Amino acid sequence: MQPSRARMGPPKYAPHPNHPIHIHPARPLYRFVATGLGASMWFFLMYRAKKDGPVLLGWRHPWEH
């Protein structure tokens, strides 16, 4: 049996040097700040899930301590 030569993923086009839209890479400071803000968002979400998770999932009533 021959292995298939199906190509997966997007098509590979040649780069266009004169394309009208050129996206510049982000500065390292912006990437660092974005990573920090994203990490703090996930830390906060996990903290709230630890505190409120059973109530949100219906495992416990909020008025029961």
Each of the 65 residues of the chain gets a pLDDT tens digit; together they read 666 666 677 777 777 778 788 888 999 999 999 999 999 999 999 999 999 988 888 888 888 86
State residue 3's pLDDT score.
65
Decide: pTM greater than 0.75. no
State residue 4's pLDDT score.
66
39 contacts 45 by C-beta, under 8 angstroms:
no
State residue 7's pLDDT score.
66
